[in-house]
Amino acid sequence: MAMIHHTTMTPTKLELLAQWLPRQPWYQGDGSTDLRRAGGFRLDDPEGEVGIEFMVVTDGPIAYHVPLTYRGAPLEGAEHALIGTSEHGVLGTRWLYDGVHDPVLRVQLTALLRGAAEPQMQALSDTPDPTVASELAEDAPQEPTVAIVRVPKAGAAPADALGSVTADWTLADGTAVRGVLVRA
């Protein structure tokens, strides 16, 4: 199980995302970000080396889903996916990546869809998050194609989806919503 350290990160995840997010093709804001944590969950890396977080942030009325991975060394061949580096108060320098491009996240996400990985609370160590639901059709391929929903909306998965991961987040106005973060 991943150990959550309640310590500092400099720069913070939100500071790094504020610089990175407006450069993404799916970004819908005007570039003057006002990011706030809105929800999400974590998955454990069985090897204990990679932090895996599915973070939802809001930027005004728009919610963004950013899967993140945290590593103690650069991920070879993933320079294009680097969000930035941060000094963690306990672990030292951490390389933060857009987790979509991290093979450890992809394996654990498939395990979650198949019921072989358990979602964890975002800010608590060794604590399952019962609000996250995942499902995958029995006839889904062994290696299903997963699509990260980058700009999630409230609501259920489309009827033609072979599977999904749904979770809760809070809009900037305080409204609690639930929607699809991953489709298979």
For residue 89, what are the domain limits? 9-130
Q: What percent of the chain has a predicted confidence (pLDDT) above 90?
A: 77
User: Do the beta carbons of residue 53 and residue 68 sit within 8 Å?
Assistant: yes
Q: pLDDT tens-digit profile of 149-182?
A: 999 999 998 888 899 999 999 999 999 999 999 9
Helix (H, G, I), strand (E, B) or coil at 126: coil
Q: For residue 39, report the phi and psi dihedrals to the nearest 5 degrees.
A: 160, -170
Angstrom distance (rounded) from CA 30 to CA 9:
26
Number of domains in the chain: 1
Task: Please report whether residue 18 resides in a domain.
Answer: yes
Q: pLDDT tens-digit profile of 53-86?
A: 999 999 999 999 999 999 999 999 999 999 999 9
Q: What is the pLDDT of residue 22?
A: 96
Task: Please report whether residue 139 resides in a domain.
Answer: no
In sequence order, the 6+-apart residues with CB closer than 8 A to the CB of 28 are 62, 151
Task: Please report whether residue 169 resides in a domain.
Answer: no
Task: Please report whether residue 1 resides in a domain.
Answer: no
In sequence order, the 6+-apart residues with CB closer than 8 A to the CB of 63 are 38, 56, 57, 151, 152, 153, 169, 171
Task: Please report whether residue 40 resides in a domain.
Answer: yes
Task: Please report whether residue 50 resides in a domain.
Answer: yes
CA distances from 107 to 100, 104, 127, 135, 143 (A): 11, 5, 21, 16, 10
Task: Please report whether residue 112 resides in a domain.
Answer: yes
Q: What is the pLDDT of residue 2?
A: 63
Task: Please report whether residue 175 resides in a domain.
Answer: no
Q: Are strands 163-170 and 133-136 parallel, antiparallel or unpaired?
A: antiparallel
